[in-house]
Amino acid sequence: MDFKESFRGIRSAYMELFHDVDLEEPSFSTAMYFIIFNPTFWNIAARLEYHTHFLTKITGSAKKGCYLLAATIFTLGVGRDLCFHKALDAQPLSPVLDNPKVKFVGQALVIAGQVLVGTSMWQLGITGTYLGDYFGILMDHIVTSFPFNVCNNPMYQGSTLSFLGYSLVTGKAAGLILAFMVYAMYSFALRFEEPFTAKIYAERDDARSRKNE
């Protein structure tokens, strides 16, 4: 098989996958909304907290404020996941994805994703996972052990793998689009989160050095 024939085969598979997606299904739009809204919300809320301390004032302490934001983010995440599953239930099965090998790959991705998410939360704790640095709750040292020694953002990357894996397990092409949107939104969020977090810790380290002079 030459290159042109291979390209035609790949293009045909992609076109078939796209035709297996019902973009007009309302649950698909709802899932897309949550995928876009969630990281947008927590970045705006965390920035407002950093500049105004509104959650700290409402709850009476930075730790309680962080726990309130964590509960809100977690609840929104559950809502997003439920909408994602509902959206896939309403989508047609893709013949391209409906085979045992694809399902096996999907299962492996789900397991890998959940391991990354679970171990990340274990290493960081609630405040480390849910933007505690915006509340002034900073970690003493950078975590470098697993899963941070295999990827920079295991929470986001693990979540993306879980969405992708579940889409393959269920054989729903629409899930691939939603999983890509999850990846895109996390990548977009990191463009704001990583520099700002680095700034927070740099200010902490600068304050410590001045204090020790």
- Encode pLDDT of 114-156 as tens digits: 999 999 999 999 999 999 999 999 988 888 899 999 998 999 9
Dist. CA 37–CA 33, nearest whole Å: 6
What percent of the chain has pLDDT above 90? 77
Read off the pLDDT of each residue in 90-114 and give the average, rounded to a whole number: 95
Dist. CA 133–CA 140, nearest whole Å: 11
What 3-state class would DSSP assign to 142? coil
Query: Average per-residue pLDDT in the chain?
Result: 90
Dist. CA 72–CA 165, nearest whole Å: 26
- What contacts 197, CB < 8 A, 6 or more positions away? 133
Q: Residue positions in the annotated binding site?
A: 111-113, 193-194
Query: Which pLDDT score, from 0 to 100, does residue 6 have?
Result: 43
> Which residue blocks in the chain are alpha helix, DSSP H?
3-19, 26-52, 54-59, 62-89, 100-129, 154-170, 173-212
Unique residue bearing structure tokens 């700034």: 199
Phi, psi dihedrals of residue 117, rounded to the nearest 5°: -65, -50
Dist. CA 73–CA 82, nearest whole Å: 14
Q: Residue positions in the annotated binding site for S-adenosyl-L-methionine?
A: 111-113, 193-194
Read off the pLDDT of each residue in 43-53 and give the average, rounded to a whole number: 96
